[in-house]
Each structure stands twice: as structure tokens, then as C-alpha cells.
Amino acid sequence: MSEIVYSVHATKPDDVGGIEVVFATEREARAYASSRSTDDRVLSTSVTSFRVGMLGTRKSVAWFIDGAEQPRSFTRRLYPAD
């Protein structure tokens, strides 16, 4: 099987959370993630795509805070470059 699917997970203050649900379409995943990001105690949600059964195909699609999609740019350095 090589179907592309879209997962959504929520981050809470005390739990980064695993995948909550998998959708067949990006549109469904985005709608759920946007709505879920407004729930009590949810800090943010994210949408990730991947091809079922194929390692290395996971891609970040979108992330939401309070129902609003956030910019895709990420300026924080995870590791020191010096």
C-alpha cells in the first residue's frame, strides 16, 4: 500500500501527544487541526503527511494555534552552529 495520508496531533502543556487521528485528505486534516487547536488546554496542533508503509516520507504540512494556521518558517536553531 502506498497511499498518502494525513495525521493530526495536539500538544498540551503536560503532553506532546501522539497521533490522534488519520485522514485520507489534507483538507479534512487541516479542518480538524484548526478546530482542535481551539480546545481547552491545547497549545497547538499539527498536520503531517506520509505514505503508508514507506519510511522517510513524513512531511510537515501545517500547524495551528487558536484556530489560525501558523507561518511555515522556523527561525529557532535547534543546535549551536558555532
pLDDT tens-digit profile of 15-28?
Answer: 877 899 999 999 99
Q: How far apart are CA 60 and CA 37, in angstroms?
A: 16
This prediction's pTM: 0.83
Q: In which element (H, E) is residue 65 found?
A: strand 59-65
Judge whether 59 and 48 are in contact, CB under 8 Å. Answer: yes
What's the pLDDT at 80?
A: 54
- Give the mean model confidence (pLDDT) for residues 3-13: 95
Using only C-alpha atoms, the chain has a radius of gyration, in whole angstroms, of 14
Mean pLDDT of 39-51: 95
Indicate the pLDDT class of residue 2, thresholds 50, 70 and 90: low
Residue in the block written with cell 500500500: 1
- The Cα 13–Cα 49 span in angstroms is 24
Tell whether the model's pLDDT for residue 75 goes beyond 60: no
- At 1, list the grid cell: 500500500
